[in-house]
């Protein structure tokens, strides 16, 4: 059970587990869903996100909000507009924006967990090796389609691991995003185009290094959220006090 009194270690286990069960369930239910049924799945996903975030500190709430805003802008740019990938109903399903928040929260919970911190060096090494092998497979003759974008995004992942402030967060993102990309394309929730809009860069379905691309969401959250928290704090401080009605 995850509750206000649950220790942080328990939350860091249950949050990723909940996310990695909930999102595939939504993707599976979406396979034959109508637009209105999609909206219901979206409401359920928002509700779950709100519940999980209510037990998090303000900084994590701000980071998640930044991810949702940034990811939603990316979704509408690269899906309906540029058609780099296309959803089943050729829209951005209503469960996608809160889904990005859940993915970030799951990766963050993994990265801050006691077990991850105790095995940090091993996890980072395994992630880099596994990601590298996956990217190499994407450009090999064994892959169904060439995947140059996956190699580029794997290079991004290496950069985040080398220079990022929260390397274990990127390990968590690699696990969650790779898992969900494989399931999402397998279920047919979304399909990646064969190439980018220029026709030059080949793309796998899904790209092998998708987690490296997702790392930009994490980076934006880590950089922008502290400023957002400070701004909100100032706004609360500067808010004028309410005038009390004088009763004579």
Q: Give residue-wise pLDDT tens across range 177-206.
A: 999 999 999 999 999 999 999 999 999 999
Q: Give residue-wise pLDDT tens across range 32-91.
A: 999 999 999 999 999 999 999 999 999 999 999 999 999 999 999 999 999 999 999 999
Whether residue 3 has pLDDT greater than 50: no
CA-CA distance, 235 to 94, in Å (whole number)?
Answer: 30
Q: Give residue-wise pLDDT tens across range 132-182.
A: 999 999 999 999 999 999 999 999 999 999 988 889 999 999 999 999 999
96-118 average pLDDT score: 96
Global pTM reads 0.89
Alpha helices, H only, the chain: 8-29, 35-53, 58-76, 96-112, 114-118, 120-138, 148-163, 167-187, 210-238
Cα 158 → chain centroid: 18
Burial category of 228 from C-beta neighbours within 10 Å (exposed 0-12, middle 13-18, buried 19 and up): middle
CA-CA distance, 67 to 69, in Å (whole number)?
Answer: 6
Question: Token match 């997702």: residue?
Answer: 214
CA-CA distance, 173 to 225, in Å (whole number)?
Answer: 18
Residue 189 CB contacts under 8 Å (≥ 6 apart), including other chains? 27, 30, 31, 87, 88, 93
């Amino acid at each position: 059970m995850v509750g206000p009194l649950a220790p942080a270690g328990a939350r860091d286990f249950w949050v990723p587990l909940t996310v990695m069960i909930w999102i595939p369930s939504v993707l599976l239910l979406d396979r034959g869903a109508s637009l209105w049924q999609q909206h219901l799945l979206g409401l359920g996903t928002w509700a779950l996100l709100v519940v999980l975030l209510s037990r998090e500190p303000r900084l994590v709430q701000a980071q998640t909000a930044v991810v949702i805003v940034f990811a939603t802008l990316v979704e509408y740019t690269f899906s309906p507009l540029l058609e780099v990938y296309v959803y089943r109903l050729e829209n951005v399903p209503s469960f996608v924006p809160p889904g990005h928040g859940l993915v970030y929260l799951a990766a963050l919970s993994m990265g801050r967990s006691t077990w991850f911190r105790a095995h940090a060096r091993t996890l980072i090494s395994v992630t880099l090796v596994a990601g590298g092998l996956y990217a190499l497979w994407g450009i090999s003759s064994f892959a169904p389609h060439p995947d140059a974008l996956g190699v580029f995004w794997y290079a991004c992942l290496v950069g985040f691991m080398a220079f990022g402030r929260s390397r274990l967060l990127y390990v968590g993102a690699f696990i969650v995003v790779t898992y969900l990309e494989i399931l999402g394309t397998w279920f047919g929730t979304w399909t990646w185009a064969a190439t980018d809009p220029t026709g030059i860069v080949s793309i796998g379905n899904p790209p092998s290094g998708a987690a490296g691309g997702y790392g930009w969401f994490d980076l934006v959250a880590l950089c922008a959220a502290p400023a957002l928290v400070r701004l909100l704090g100032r706004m609360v401080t500067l808010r004028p006090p309410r005038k009390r009605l004088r009763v004579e």
